[in-house]
Structure 1
């Protein structure tokens, strides 16, 4: 498992701490795999409610009644003297009743949601099915933690057709939700191998419910990503670590915020380590500087949110093929490592085809080598975009080869160092050229 700074690595040096981070990131991937499905379902529900209305507020459209938990205090936290007023176009009363009928326990979180936006923002409707505290200011699924997203699945009956297990008190969703609670309370942020195996299995089980798998096009991709993460075949990016920590740290109003002092201190140390790294990079990277300026101009969200957004941006190195050959390209941040991988791939490819290209084996050998070394295929006239985080400061190494008419593999470049965000192209003579910054195949020295 790779990390991005010495302090960050030190804090996750122990295997059980690495397990904790892997499960935390796994929950982020699970949330991302669920979001489009939840959004689509809630959007369909919203559209069925009829005409648009933006005149009603939650306080005016929900009668003050002690059956609503939020209304039991005096003064009422929701109404505070505001009286019920029917919807002027007869939309929001029916919308309100539909939300109540679909809520499994009949108690929507009215303080979370603003009826003024029900007809324009399906996620505002989804918030009525989330826990009652900590979700009133969010506007999108991207701002919602796993507990919020999975609570919509648990509390809204709309999802039972695809996940029948939801009718049971303990189900595939409650098990995944409880993983987050267990992570928050894990002593010294440690997770055993047995716990890791069990919890990854529960995440996969939710995504692989047959009807859900058929309805959620992203479910299988998420399962594949979880498999790689569990088996240490996937690098944990800083943006994913940041998102995982943000989800685990309890909201000030969250009922799980008690007795967490030690864990919160450890998590804040990790956040501080990451932030120090990122702040240094902001001072050295124009794109990150622009992101900070945009943040200052447009909003006042938490600093961790800013860093997560900045880290989700990317730089791109394009490789364009102007030659007559099909080329195979790869990038790396470490030249020697890739050279070793290339040698292993060469041996693998030789074993497969018996050590000879042969007249009929040019493409086969090329593709076999490409697959073994994780090279990308670029046809004549095409280009490939290789994306990586904006936080990369050192050289990006480019590796390109092709198979010529004599069935010989020809290296165009081996570990060619390039500045991040700069591109190259292979010209008509099969030679690598630097592209002018911001272009795909215009020579860099052209005025």
Structure 2
């Protein structure tokens, strides 16, 4: 009964709707991200093969911490590609790729990174998989921990997929929206933080509606997403969320809370020993709320 009473609270219902919206948004952009990532990987390997006149483009022996890039530093520890703490600036102990491949991929990741200065998140990647797995490269564009063991687009949450779109210049060719500065893609990543980090698990109706409208705007981007069936099927689901008569079920609630539980687990695992007191307090609040909701369900 207590569980049902919670569902009857309007602001809680709106919070659940917004959380469901993130799931629908992931459904809509996941196939797009997978297709573009695979095409980028194919193009990149083909370019390396042609430019270096290699019979095959394969490796599995390099590690990102010890990899010697193809580019050379300039001056006193200055990276010509603009990356801070680049491997090119610390040549001691760095090893060139024995297959003449991984150094070029390292360079391409940096030059494709859209931030200034470029800041690939190397902790998310497995260098040994670069030539055989497109997502091992794509994960370098997710500037948050917890994705190192993810192996496909299906494993990556909505925020991770949005990071790949925003931070990877190759994706910019497939998006009409100007991804520099303030844009709807970046706004939605912030919404996700506000939804999942809410200690009250409540949201005003106008805020939830605005969040969902921007999720729809992402899926209606005029370059390619507007013409993809997966994206437009997700739009229909998002539009249904905005109806006043949309029924919130306990299954809906469990889906959103389950996503939060997974995030808590990923953050705790990836930042163990590194999280600040505020980070830990925030995780404790969310964890208590999640457990309280589950206990209510069992009553």
Q: TM-score range by the shorter chain?
A: 0.7 to 0.9
Is 1:268 the counterpart of 2:291? The answer is yes
3-state DSSP class of the match of 2:65?
helix
Q: 1 CA distance for matches of 2:78 and 2:145?
A: 19
Could you say what secondary structure the match of 1:126 adopts? Answer: helix
Q: Determine the C-alpha separation between the residues in 1 that align with 2:194 and 2:256.
A: 18
1:368-421 deviation digits (Å, cap 9, x = unpaired): xxxxxxxxxxxxxxxxxxxxxxxxxxxxxxxxxxxxxxxxxxxxxxxxxxxxxx
- Whether 2:31 is the aligned partner of 1:36: answer yes
Tell me the equivalent position of 2:48: none
TM-score between both structures, scaled by the size of structure 1: 0.53
Q: Which runs of 5+ in 2 are unaligned?
A: 46-56
- Pairwise CA distance, 1:225: 0.9
Change (3 A) 1:7 1:241: farther
Higher normalized strand content (fraction of residues): 1
1:46 Cα deviation after fit: 1.0
Counterpart for residue 257 of structure 1 = 279
TM-score by length of 2: 0.76
1:214-253 alignment, distance < 5 Å: 214=226, 216-231=228-243, 232-233=245-246, 236=249, 237=251, 240-246=255-261, 249=264, 251-252=267-268, 253=271
Cα gap change, 1:146 to 1:272, in 2 (>3 Å):
farther
Compared with structure 1, are the counterparts of its residues 69 and 31 closer, same or farther at alpha carbon in structure 2 (3 Å cutoff)? Answer: farther
Per-residue deviation, 1:195? 0.5
Query: Which runs of 5 or more residues in structure 1 are unaligned?
Result: 1-5, 73-78, 278-447
Tell me which of the two structures has the higher relative contact order, counting C-alpha pairs closer than 8 angstroms and 6 or more residues apart: 2
2:221 equivalent in structure 1: 209
Instruction: Note closer, same or farther for the CA distance 1:166–1:117 as it changes in structure 2 (3 Å cut).
Output: farther
Q: Report whether the alignment pairs 1:99 with 2:109.
A: yes
Q: Which residue of 2 aligns with 1:13?
A: 8
Matches within 5 A, 1:32-71: 32-50=27-45, 51-61=57-67
Contact 1:49 1:94 in 2 (8 A): no
Determine which structure has the larger helix proportion and give its number: 2
Equivalent pair of 1:154/1:174 in contact (CA under 8 Å): yes
**Rounded Cα–Cα distance in structure 2 between residues aligned with 1:156 and 1:123:** 13
Instruction: Give 2:50's aligned residue.
Output: none
Q: What is the alpha-carbon distance in structure 2 between the residues aligned to residue 82 and residue 125 of structure 1?
A: 25
How many residues of Structure 1 are paired with residues of Structure 2 in the alignment? 264
Q: Aligned-pair RMSD on alpha carbons?
A: 3.1
